[in-house]
Amino acid sequence: QLWLQESGPGLVKPSETLSLTCTVSDDSISSNTYYWGWIRQPPGKGLEWLGSAHYRGSSYYNPSLKSRVTIFVDTSKKQFSLRLSSVTAADTAVYYCARTNIFGSVSPRWFDSWGQGTLVTVSS
């Protein structure tokens, strides 16, 4: 059964870059059927999609984050990564990685498998 696991620092200083990695347990990371995405949840709040990327190179990001976010897929390691630059306290959240299904389409649709999430706090 597929599992996803986030890893990375739990504390990041303001103005620095947040970097997280998600490890995927199976070969679906190289499948045409899926994008690989990041979603975050500030403490006590709702869900915000950050972006999704495909192993062939295409990617989509939340316009609200402008150019601060980058997601890339490394099939050789069965991993995909998130980079969020110039962080502030507003970026404090639990960050989830998730497999994004494109069934019947060519673009990201729903999230069918999630990692357990990792809390990232932005503080000096």
Partner 1 sequence: ETVMTQSPGTLSVSPGERATLSCRASQSVNSNLAWYQQRPGQAPRLLIYDASTRATGIPARFSGSGSGTEFTLTISSLQAEDFAVYYCQQYNDWPPLTFGGGTKVEIK
The residue from 33, 116, 119, 121 that contacts partner 1 (CB under 8 A) is 116
**Binding segment (CB under 8 A) for partner 1, from list 19-27, 46-54, 73-81, 84-92:** 46-54
Number of residues near partner 1 (by CB under 8 A): 24
Determine, following the binding rule CB under 8 A, whether residue 72 of this chain makes contact with partner 1: no
Q: For residue 71, how many C-alpha atoms fall within 13 Å in the half-sphere facing its CB?
A: 25
Q: What is the DSSP letter of 103?
A: T
Query: Helix, strand, or coil here: 91?
Result: helix
* Nearest CA among 72, 62, 104, 67 for reference residue 86: 67
Hey, which residues between 4 and 43 contact partner 1 (CB under 8 A)?
none
> What's the closest the beta carbon of residue 71 comes to partner 1, in angstroms?
12
Q: Alpha-carbon distance 28 to 48, whole Å?
A: 24
φ/ψ bin of 25: left (φ > 0), alpha (ψ from -120 to 50), beta (otherwise): alpha
**Binding segment (CB under 8 A) for partner 1, from list 8-16, 23-31, 62-70, 73-81:** 62-70
**Rule CB under 8 A: which residues touch partner 1?**
46-49, 51-52, 60-64, 96, 101, 107-117
